Amino acid sequence: MKKITTATLLMVFAVGTIFLGMTPAVFAKENTAQFEKEWTAFYKDIFDQNFYSEGINQLDLGRWWRKIFRKKIPSANINVFDEVPDSNFFTNRHARARLSAEALEKGYHEEEGADLSQPLTVIAAEQQGIHYGFIVEDAKKDRYFLKFDSQGHLELNTGAEVIASRFYYALGYNVPQYNILFFKPDQIKVSEDAITYDNTGFVKKLTQQILEKYLLAIPQLPGGTYRASASKLFKAQEAGDVSFWSRKKEDPQEVVHHRDRRDFRGLRVFSAWLNNENIRESNALYMKTNENGQVAFKPYLFGFATALGAAMGGDKPPMLGYEYLADYGEAFKSFLALGFREKPWQKKWREASEKNSPLSSVGYFSSEHFDPARYKTLLPYEAFRLVTSADGFWAAKNVMAFSDEDIRTMVKAGQYSDSAAADSVTQTLIERRDKIGRYWFLQANPLDGFAFSDGKLSFKDLAIDYKFIPKEGTIYHVEVVSSGKKPRRIAELKISEPILSIQPEWFQNDKDINLIIRVARPSAKELGFSVSISLNTVGIQGIRHQD
Amino acid sequence: MKKTALFLCLSFFFFSVFAYAEDKKEDFYKPVYEKPLKTSSLKDPVSRVLAFPFELIKWPLDKALVFMEKKRLDRKAIWLYEKSVEYGVTPRVDSLNFNGIPSYGADFDFVRIFRQKEMYPDLIAKGWINHGPAVYFQTGAEFGKQRIADTGFHVSEFFQYENRRNETFYGIGPYSSRGDSASYIIERTTLATRAGYEFSPTLDLTSQFGYDHVNIKNRSHGGKGNITEVFARDNIPGLYGDDLLSYSLSLKRDTRDSKSSATQGSYQKLIFKYTDGVQSSKAQYFTYQVDAAKYFQLASPRRVLAARLFAEHNQTINRGDMPFYNMAKLGGSGTFPYVSQTSRGYVYDRFYGQSTVLLNLEYRYTIWQYREFQLDTVFFVDEGQVFGNLGKFNFSHFRESYGMGFNLNYSKLVLLSFDVAHGDEGTQFYIENKIPF
């Protein structure tokens, strides 16, 4: 009897699953991969990262070895100067050569935005609870993915998405074109073969009536105008998921596994800055492009609608950014403390009287209790856990490259109707930027901007330059050693200014020398991390910050 | 002219120097590496071998999850459930039973099924059917009115048939031995009329007049003996079933913030019942029952102390009997479909007695939260005893069990509960989708 009942249950379940799964592959059309991916693949990500990888990591002997002996895995895609050269994944932009205010505000753009000379045609729509997304085609036959704010939170998600896209792009990542799009109800219509997934999960023909029903649930600006974040859908061919762990095997240009790429690791720092804890594999996609006659696989990041103070459905829940979705370590600590441990996010939430910003378009976004060292993305990617001091320094340097004015300019792209909201977001980003800079510049060796001329090596102490620490009392301990397998100490000296005279006699037989520089701060008991400069008579041959 | 030539020369010199300086400036971003970039292994060979069997599991699971999400199966399932409830059929899956197979069933709201809810919002026309494979089968119906003439008065007729196929019996009283295990099948048909008054949404008084027809089938089952053989020398009342008439009055007050997983408030339930056997039954007794719980927040909703008191006394009258199957019972987690009271260090139905006193104390605290999801840790102590007459109550007869567990909630609705409890008869494990109180 029991066996029969079990078999019956399983059969009912199987038949039910097949029945429920019987929907046409309507989204197998071109240019919808980003749309489709953003609405799906979250469960797989959760399972893979939060459950499978967390368990399987415990079987990684190398990981245990590194943990016990405090070893680190240095990033592998860095050049001799400790920088990340341009690649399909990352292009050094603002930190390398300052972008103009216009370029910062516009971000990546192919068009000025959707062409509204004719009504936008909705090709597909998705309703998920109170969230709506449309794929529309404009007069130029370009397709855009429109996302909207939820009721009571006008400008929150749309603003966050566009602003975050500007930052990721200016930092160096590939993102689709994002714009704020305003349109009137009469500027949108339904295509004849449009379809929709509504709350039922079943695919239906999208009619004008259904579209109007959706539009009724979407918040409007005074005057009946709709506001959406519009991302231009890729015209290139979608070429699969981007793993945050391993490389894309089909791409011969991609040699280094993503776990060991500094630009991947740096995403943790950048996402901490932008409070985009939702950075995950399902928000990244390879696109196959043809550049100069060569096939290239370019990974794109997208789905920034839950950055800053936003989340699906409104304000960001207070635990996000502080804990992984399933955070075993935090849960275990709370378990041991018998419930009497107040977590940082709980403290922050209590101090905020359990209230979000009075500005509904800002949500829950502040710099109080923001700790760059402890920021956690929603899912625990190993690449983010492996961020070394050198990786963090590189990322922080990129973050600090944005001046207050740059940030203000990029926030303008969010087109907040209330200047107080723009000011609040700008101020928080400035404060979070400084916290990131302060943490990583003091955590790592903050010397940068090395130049060798006239027999003098000059450099910048970014911690001092950005005024995170006073110049007074800072001493640079320099050790000069010969290059080769058995380095020999040539000289040792202490300097108080970031400039060093290189003695010609140090270059014996025209061999390279290495200068190992450590910084002694008056407030610190020990010397900090080192930076090693490889030098010969021609100039600087290499730079390496200690991991 | 000379000046112009001098200016041009100086300009040329200046820009040459500038250009030279630019040329000399090192490009720190050029793709020059210490060693040619190569693909290094992400894991050592031993770790890869260790992980390999799990990779085989991961692949189909990943595919299934993507399929589920791509086909919106989760949303379809939720929609189907909500639609089903809207149309008057509420599917239910209850606690996982000992076989690891959930019991399942459905509640039917006929008013909704026949689309009469708007016309008759206070009409009660319910039915239910529940089945726990190899454990129980239950079906019933209730018809009546929730509010009469816009007052708090309510009245209903109740019918239920229940067949429990695997009830256990270890003897009566605090000294029974787990070694004397017997099993029986109980088939109970109940007809009742209920009437009462709802003073407020939190306070209700209900009286009931009911008839129970109880069939008992004694037999060996699942390694347990036949009651009539195991307890041949004991006089176990009600061994062959009864026909019972009962009159009861119950007062309920419930101010909990959630019936599934309360963090504040309390509930109190007082029952007075008179039961009289008819036809050949010798049963005749009064039942007094108190069930009360209070939930104390310890300076935070994340820390809750839950205390519960359950007491029942059955007083036989006129030399009547108290059927063993209606006695107070202790053992198990105390959640539906099991009917014995919460004493988690002991097996289900472990103790039978005319009277019982039980105290449950739980400290629940939240260790993880994600949006509406919440994981609580629970430490608990259950202290209870069964006894006969009130005079036989003895503090030394208390049987204690203690343990801990985890409750996973969504929006104060328990999704999964795992408990491990220890008593002087061993350790018990529970995996359920509800908590006892």
Question: Does B24 lie at the interface with A, CB-CB under 8 angstroms?
Answer: yes
Of B25, B31, B46, the CB nearest to A85: B31
* 3-state class (DSSP) for residue A247: coil
Question: Other CB atoms closer than 10 Å to residue B62's CB: what's the count?
Answer: 17
Contact B47 A96 (CB under 8 A): no
Quick check: is B111 in a domain?
Answer: no
**Which DSSP string do the residues of A41-80 spell out, in sequence order?**
-HHHHIIIIIIIIHHHGGG-HHHHHHHHTT-----SS--T
Q: Which residues of chain A have pLDDT under 70?
A: 1-40, 510
Contact A334 B367 (CB under 8 A): yes
Q: Give pLDDT tens digits for B221-255.
A: 777 788 888 888 888 899 889 999 999 999 999 99
Contact list in B for residue A245 (CB cut-off 8 A) is: 42
Residue B330, domain extent: 147-432
Size of interface A-B (CB pairs under 8 A): 169
User: Chain B closest CA to A314's CA: distance in Å?
Assistant: 12
Looking at chain B from residue 297 to 316, which residues have their Cβ under 8 Å from any Cβ of chain A? Answer: 298, 300, 302-303
| pLDDT number for residue B235 | 85
| pLDDT number for residue B20 | 39
Question: Does B29 lie at the interface with A, CB-CB under 8 angstroms?
Answer: yes
Question: Residue A342, class by beta-carbon neighbours within 10 Å (0-12 exposed, 13-18 middle, 19+ buried)?
Answer: middle
Of B30, B69, B99, the CB nearest to A42: B69
* 3-state class (DSSP) for residue B165: strand
ipTM confidence:
0.85
Quick check: is B105 in a domain?
Answer: no
Contact A44 B50 (CB under 8 A): no
Best CA proximity match to A315, nearest among A360, A284, A267, A381: A360
Q: How far apart are CA A344 and CA A336, in angstroms?
A: 16
Of B33, B38, B44, the CB nearest to A61: B44
Of B39, B42, B377, the CB nearest to A335: B377
Contact B365 A44 (CB under 8 A): no
What proportions of chain A, in percent to the nearest 5, are helix, strand and coil?
35, 25, 45
Of A9, A48, A255, the CB nearest to B38: A255
Contact B34 A80 (CB under 8 A): yes
Q: How far apart are CA B131 and CA B102, in angstroms?
A: 9
Contact A79 B75 (CB under 8 A): no
| pLDDT number for residue A8 | 54
Q: How far apart are CA A519 and CA A522, in angstroms?
A: 10
Query: How many structural domains are present in chain B?
Result: 1
Are A311 and A185 a contacting pair, CB within 8 Å?
A: no
Quick check: is B422 in a domain?
Answer: yes
List B268's β-bridge partners, or say none: B253, B292
User: Chain B closest CA to A25's CA: distance in Å?
Assistant: 9
Quick check: is B34 in a domain?
Answer: no
Contact list in B for residue A247 (CB cut-off 8 A) is: 39
Contact list in A for residue B75 (CB cut-off 8 A) is: 128, 197, 199-201
* 3-state class (DSSP) for residue A434: helix
Looking at chain B from residue 131 to 190, which residues have their Cβ under 8 Å from any Cβ of chain A? Answer: 133-134
User: Chain B closest CA to A206's CA: distance in Å?
Assistant: 17
Quick check: is B28 in a domain?
Answer: no
Q: Give pLDDT tens digits for A326-337.
A: 999 999 999 999
Q: How far apart are CA A77 and CA A257, in angstroms?
A: 9
DSSP state of A293: T
Residue owning tokens 């415990």: A58
| pLDDT number for residue A515 | 93
| pLDDT number for residue B234 | 84
Q: How far are the Cα atoms of B162, B164, B192, B247 from residue B142, in angstroms, in the given order?
A: 15, 21, 9, 18
Compute the residue count for chain A: 547
Q: How far are the Cα atoms of A161, A315, B144 from residue A367, in angstroms, in the given order?
A: 19, 15, 59
Contact A317 B371 (CB under 8 A): yes
DSSP state of B281: -
User: Chain A closest CA to B94's CA: distance in Å?
Assistant: 15
CATH code at position B314: 2.40.160.50
Question: Does B35 lie at the interface with A, CB-CB under 8 angstroms?
Answer: no
Q: How far apart are CA A76 and CA B33, in angstroms?
A: 9
Are B309 and B294 a contacting pair, CB within 8 Å?
A: no
Q: Which residues of chain B have pLDDT under 70?
A: 1-25, 96-101
A317: which 2 tokens? Answer: 């829940």
Q: Give pLDDT tens digits for B249-299.
A: 999 999 999 999 999 999 999 999 999 999 889 999 999 999 999 999 999
Residue B373 phi/psi, 5-degree rounding, is -80, 145
Quick check: is B136 in a domain?
Answer: no
| pLDDT number for residue B179 | 87
User: Chain A closest CA to B213's CA: distance in Å?
Assistant: 26
Contact list in B for residue A52 (CB cut-off 8 A) is: 54, 58, 61
Of A20, A62, A335, the CB nearest to B44: A62
Buried b (16+ CB within 10 A) or exposed e, A170-180: bbbbbbbbbbb
User: Chain A closest CA to B198's CA: distance in Å?
Assistant: 36
Domains belonging to chain A, first-starting first, are 1-444 (no CATH), 447-545 (2.60.40.10)
Amino acid letter, residue A173: Y
How much is the mean pLDDT over chain B?
A: 89
Residue owning tokens 């509010």: B147
Q: Give pLDDT tens digits for B107-135.
A: 999 999 999 999 999 999 999 999 988 88
Alpha-helix runs per DSSP H in A141-217: 156-171, 208-217
Biggest CA pair distance of chain A: 93
Q: How far apart are CA B266 and CA B363, in angstroms?
A: 15
| pLDDT number for residue A17 | 46
Quick check: is B114 in a domain?
Answer: no
Contact B365 A334 (CB under 8 A): yes
Contact list in B for residue A537 (CB cut-off 8 A) is: none
Looking at chain B from residue 95 to 114, which residues have their Cβ under 8 Å from any Cβ of chain A? Answer: 99, 101, 104
Q: How far apart are CA A298 and CA A263, in angstroms?
A: 14
Quick check: is B357 in a domain?
Answer: yes
